[in-house]
Amino acid sequence: MKKLLRQSQRDHEREAADYGVMMRELQTNLSTERNKSETMEHQFEECRAKVVTLESQLDTVRKQLQNLNNQHQTK
């Protein structure tokens, strides 16, 4: 009977240890995924800012081209 109780306790301790390992792995994975997500969000915001800048530059170039075309047509 004592032998069975000791075996049961060992099994329980082993399961608890395994559970702890699994929880640490899950926490590590979650942290890694959060970091990746934050990095992607930062890169997305940088890209969005670049797009806004490029759109503004494109608008300026279009206006300059239109002005040149207008000047050429009036000559």
What pLDDT, on a 0 to 100 scale, did the predictor assign at position 31?
A: 99
Residue 28: CB atoms within 10 A of its CB come to 10
Domain boundaries of the chain, sorted by first residue:
1-74
DSSP conformation letters of 29-55: HHHHHHHHHHHHHHHHHHHHHHHHHHH
What distance in Å separates the CA atoms of residue 21 and residue 27, rounded to the nearest whole number? 10
What pLDDT, on a 0 to 100 scale, did the predictor assign at position 28?
A: 99
Q: What is the mean pLDDT of residues 33-45?
A: 99
Half-sphere exposure of 53 (CA within 13 A, CB side): 6
pTM attached to this predicted model: 0.65
